[in-house]
């Protein structure tokens, strides 16, 4: 996605502070810029901005809201690439954002604000904004919507000795928002983790798309205020779907950061607890009961393990060595309460040395007692070992790391194919909707609901005769995140009794939603067969597909839904349409683009299918790789590979259709069960205007024209997306690919830095 000219925000060649007189915001911004920025800083009156022969790359504007559009237009016309609008919140003018975009459109100026606090790159001593103090330097990026929250986080971080690589406050976000900044920061080498502090939902699709991409590269931790204003369950579902970690307090924010950025990666949910007293160990064990995770069962040791109040460093180190080598232990928590028998610093030094030796197992520590804790924390910090001031905070940090790991696994997990090849009767489903529309109704009749569901293979009736648990499944519309699916107990009243998911769904995502429903967990404990649960997951996938296929459907309820031994039985249903003249809120995650499917008849009589890749294609992608010769593997990947790893195959098949595309030549049939014979990928560059292509073809399909077909289809898609250029890198000896590119009009370019590679470029 485009991050055009965001370098002008963080690395400008010159800065102008635009304001009348010396208002507080401009005064503070000028003071911060004087603290180490080496470029030229100009103070400019608003009336003089239009008269400048050349405006610096970055302008900071402190002016009333009604004057901002004219000043933005003048700055862009004068050559500025980015502007930070320090004042002028648009709360009183709902049209301000549109006016600012219109003012910046002609010049392409990027806007941060209005109501922004500014940006900072502390490591470069660059602070452009009204920060009450310059943020300290470090390896963590902070993106916040609220200036007051950003200031609170910076102060809190300073007390925790956490520094920042980048800081950005979006304010009202007329142009640059959290999604743009996530894309930019994910590409910065000096940014090792990203903290997001949000006080209102960002632009849903842009945010979720950027968050999913960033989370594949580094930890992203989210703190959101305003949970009581509604929609929090949907926001939480979006965070989980994107692979981020959500926290609920500033304390949790930095505890989670310390665990993710410092400790070794969490491998599993089994925690071993070691303490110098029974009470403190049991306190930690009790905290583990309140969330995810479980007590490990180490060989020959109790858990929690009480070493006694006289335990010395050697005792801790010896037990630590055994636990780190135990395959039944995924992480270790060391606790120490102050005693008069052994100095805390001596134990900390010994523990630190032992952890250095066994660094593959995550180790968390909590040293109680203020004076002893200070001595121990300083010693452990030198060895980059997380230290928490209470056992429950240490356990909570472990649980955060575990939740992050699970979200990451879900992000990259290969979904199974649906247990049945459901091809809905779209004509029948649309006819049911059209009948209600023609009658001027938004509610479908019982017969129309039955016809719609039957078109998706969902029969109605007979739930009373089946033993099991009563659930309810709903499809509704969130004004920020679009269609939303909920599943829970029929009489659920509390948030924890239901699960929320964003369509489109795979079997993996549907099963994950069901696991979060206590009624389903209870049914499994009572002996519910996996096949029955899978049938319930397939039903959720069908409901999600209804949302994709029928954009007029705003609400759908399946209730009661009896989860019985053979799977779900739907006892009742209702459907409501979007009001006439209104469009449903768009999907937060772009669904499968079925309009790109095309049949491909071959000269030998076979019929193949050109279609977008889906996550279920990962096994077929690996099988396609095995059909390549070693020479073909080198030509495609520029190196030798023995196999296509899960990580690479998942990345190639689990696509964000909003920013990339993969097309496959496949056998007809259900994805995950059919073979792939060739694939082409197109990935947008950071500027949003160019994209890189790559093709992989099975050599046993040579001579059938698959290469030209894939190239033509992906170029057609690039043009439809408004891209200006498609490019690729081809080894000199890959003559077949060079001939293909030449046939489509690509221009060749050589680079002295890549003597063996030809760069091919096609202007669209």
3-class secondary structure per residue, 495-531: HHHEEEECCCCCHHHHHHHHHCCHHHHHHHHCCCCHH
Q: What are the residue ranges of helices labelled H in 243-390?
A: 250-262, 278-289, 313-324, 344-357, 370-382
Using an 8 Å Cβ cutoff, are 351 and 316 in contact? yes
- Collect contacts of 159-162 with beta carbons under 8 A, ≥24 apart: 160/254, 160/258, 161/381, 162/136, 162/138, 162/254, 162/257
- Side-chain-side CA neighbours of 610 within 13 Å: the count stands at 23
Question: How far is the C-alpha of 127 from the C-alpha of 122, rounded, in Å?
Answer: 7
**Reduced to 3 states, what is the DSSP secondary structure of residue 162?**
coil
φ, ψ of residue 752 in degrees (nearest 5):
-65, -20
- Give the global pTM: 0.90
Please name the fold of domain 426-577: D-amino Acid Aminotransferase; Chain A, domain 1 (3.30.470)
Among residues 161, 394, 361, 190, the alpha carbon closest in space to that of 275 is found at 394
Tokens of 482: 């679009």
Using an 8 Å Cβ cutoff, are 209 and 155 in contact? no
Q: What is the pLDDT of residue 370?
A: 56
Question: How far is the C-alpha of 720 from the C-alpha of 736, rounded, in Å?
Answer: 27
> Do 7-260 and 265-412 show the same overall fold?
yes
Question: How far is the C-alpha of 140 from the C-alpha of 481, rounded, in Å?
Answer: 28
Among residues 630, 749, 651, the alpha carbon closest in space to that of 694 is found at 651
CA quadruple 633, 638, 640, 646: dihedral sign: negative
Among residues 648, 330, 576, the alpha carbon closest in space to that of 432 is found at 576
Among residues 235, 247, 221, the alpha carbon closest in space to that of 501 is found at 235
Task: Give Cα separations from 430 to 393, 434, 435, 456 (angstroms).
Answer: 53, 6, 9, 12
Q: What is the pLDDT of residue 1?
A: 42
Which H or E run includes 198?
strand 193-198
Task: Give Cα separations from 366 to 274, 387, 443, 498 (angstroms).
Answer: 10, 5, 58, 35
List pLDDT tens digits, range 700-727.
Answer: 888 889 999 999 999 999 999 999 999 9
φ, ψ of residue 176 in degrees (nearest 5):
-75, 125
Please name the fold of domain 598-763: Aminopeptidase (3.40.630)
Question: How far is the C-alpha of 28 from the C-alpha of 130, rounded, in Å?
Answer: 5
Tokens of 618: 């990962």
- Side-chain-side CA neighbours of 760 within 13 Å: the count stands at 20
The stretches in the chain having pLDDT less than 50 are: 1
Dihedral (C-alpha) 70, 76, 79, 85: value to the nearest 10 degrees? 80
In the chain, where the domains are located: 7-260, 265-412, 426-577, 598-763
CA quadruple 458, 461, 464, 470: dihedral sign: positive
φ, ψ of residue 666 in degrees (nearest 5):
-130, 160
**Reduced to 3 states, what is the DSSP secondary structure of residue 608?**
strand
Local structure of residue 250 (DSSP, 8 states): H
Match 């890549």 to its residue by tokens. Answer: 754
- What per-residue string of b and e applies to 528-538 under the rule 16 or more CB within 10 Å gives b? beeebbbbbbb
Q: Compute the chain's Rg from CA coordinates.
A: 29
Question: How far is the C-alpha of 454 from the C-alpha of 400, rounded, in Å?
Answer: 43
**Reduced to 3 states, what is the DSSP secondary structure of residue 373?**
helix
Question: How far is the C-alpha of 211 from the C-alpha of 30, rounded, in Å?
Answer: 33
Tokens of 321: 């060595």
Neighbouring residues of 21: CB distance < 8 A, sequence distance ≥ 6:
none
* Bridge partners of residue 17, in order along the sequence: 43, 60
Neighbouring residues of 638: CB distance < 8 A, sequence distance ≥ 6:
729, 731, 757
Order of strands across the sheet with 660-666? 598-601, 607-612, 660-666, 676-684, 690-697, 725-731, 754-763, 747-751
What would the CATH number be for the domain defined by 7-260?
A: 3.40.50.261
Using an 8 Å Cβ cutoff, are 703 and 582 in contact? no
What would the CATH number be for the domain defined by 265-412?
A: 3.40.50.261
Using an 8 Å Cβ cutoff, are 412 and 649 in contact? no
Strand runs (DSSP E) across 350-428, as ranges? 363-367, 387-388
């Amino acid at each position: 996605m485009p991050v055009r000219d965001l370098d002008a925000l963080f690395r400008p060649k010159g800065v102008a502070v635009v304001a009348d007189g010396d208002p507080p915001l401009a005064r503070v911004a000028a003071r911060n810029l004087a603290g180490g920025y080496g470029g030229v800083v100009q103070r400019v009156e608003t009336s003089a901005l239009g008269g400048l022969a050349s405006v610096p790359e970055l302008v900071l504007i402190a002016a009333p809201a009604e004057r901002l559009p004219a000043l933005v237009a003048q700055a862009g016309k004068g050559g500025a690439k980015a502007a930070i609008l320090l004042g002028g919140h648009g709360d009183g003018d709902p049209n301000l954002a549109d006016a600012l975009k219109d003012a910046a459109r002609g010049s392409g100026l990027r806007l941060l604000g209005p109501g922004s606090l500014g940006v900072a790159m502390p490591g470069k001593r660059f602070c452009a904004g009204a920060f009450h103090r310059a943020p300290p330097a470090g390896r963590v990026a902070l993106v916040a919507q609220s200036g007051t929250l950003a200031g609170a986080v910076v102060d809190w971080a300073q007390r925790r000795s956490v520094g920042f690589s980048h800081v950005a406050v979006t304010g009202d976000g007329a142009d640059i928002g959290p999604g743009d900044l996530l894309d930019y920061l994910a590409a910065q080498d000096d940014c090792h983790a990203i903290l997001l502090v949000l006080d209102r939902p960002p632009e849903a699709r842009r945010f979720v798309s950027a968050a999913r991409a960033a989370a594949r590269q580094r930890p992203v931790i989210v703190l959101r205020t305003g949970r009581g204003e509604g929609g929090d369950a949907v926001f939480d579902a979006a965070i989980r779907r994107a692979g981020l970690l959500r926290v609920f307090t500033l304390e949790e924010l930095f505890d989670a950061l310390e665990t993710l950025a410092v400790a070794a990666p969490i491998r599993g949910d089994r925690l071993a607890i070691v303490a110098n007293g029974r009470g403190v160990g049991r306190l930690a064990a009790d905290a583990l009961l309140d969330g995810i995770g479980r007590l490990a069962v180490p060989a020959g040791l109790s858990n929690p393990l009480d070493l006694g109040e006289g335990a010395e460093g050697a005792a801790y180190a010896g037990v630590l060595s055994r636990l780190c080598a135990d395959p039944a232990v995924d992480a270790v928590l060391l606790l120490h309460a102050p005693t008069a028998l052994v100095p805390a610093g001596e134990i900390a030094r010994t523990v630190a040395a032992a952890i250095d030796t066994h660094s593959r197992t995550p180790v968390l520590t909590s040293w109680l007692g203020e004076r002893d804790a200070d001595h121990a924390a300083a010693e452990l910090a030198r060895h980059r070992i997380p230290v928490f001031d209470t056992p429950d905070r240490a356990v909570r940090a472990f649980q955060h790391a575990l939740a992050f790991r699970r979200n990451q696994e879900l992000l990259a997990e290969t979904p199974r194919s649906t247990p049945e090849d459901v091809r809905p009767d779209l004509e029948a489903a649309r006819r049911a909707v059209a009948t209600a529309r023609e009658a001027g109704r938004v509610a479908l009749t019982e017969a129309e609901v039955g016809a719609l569901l039957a078109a998706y293979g969902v029969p109605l009736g007979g739930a009373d005769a089946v033993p099991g648990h009563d659930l309810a499944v709903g499809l509704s519309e969130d004004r920020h995140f679009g269609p939303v699916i909920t599943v829970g107990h029929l009489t659920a009243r509390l948030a924890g009794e239901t699960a929320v998911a964003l369509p489109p769904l795979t079997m993996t995502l549907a099963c994950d939603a069901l696991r979060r429903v206590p009624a389903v967990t209870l049914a499994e404990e009572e002996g519910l067969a996996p096949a029955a649960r899978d049938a319930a997951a397939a039903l959720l996938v069908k409901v999600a597909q209804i949302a994709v296929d029928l954009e007029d459907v705003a609400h759908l309820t399946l209730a009661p839904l009896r989860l019985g031994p053979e799977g779900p039985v739907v006892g009742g249903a209702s459907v409501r349409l979007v009001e006439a003249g209104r469009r449903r809120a768009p999907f937060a995650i772009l669904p499968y683009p079925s309009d790109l499917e095309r049949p491909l008849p071959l000269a030998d009589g076979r019929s193949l299918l050109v279609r977008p890749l889906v996550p279920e294609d990962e096994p077929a992608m690996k099988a396609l790789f095995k059909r390549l010769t070693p020479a073909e593997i080198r030509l495609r990947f520029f190196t030798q590979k023995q196999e296509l790893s899960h990580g690479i195959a998942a990345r190639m098949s689990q696509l964000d259709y909003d920013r990339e595309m993969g097309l496959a030549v496949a056998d007809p049939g259900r994805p995950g069960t059919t073979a792939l014979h060739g694939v082409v990928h197109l990935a947008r560059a950071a500027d949003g205007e160019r994209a890189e292509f790559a093709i992989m073809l099975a050599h046993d399909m040579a001579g059938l024209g698959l290469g030209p077909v894939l190239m033509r289809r992906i170029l057609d898609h690039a043009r439809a997306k408004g891209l200006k250029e498609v490019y690729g890198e081809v080894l000199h000896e890959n003559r077949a690919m060079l001939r293909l590119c030449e046939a489509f009009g690509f221009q060749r370019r050589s680079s002295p830095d890549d003597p063996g590679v030809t760069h091919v470029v096609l202007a669209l």
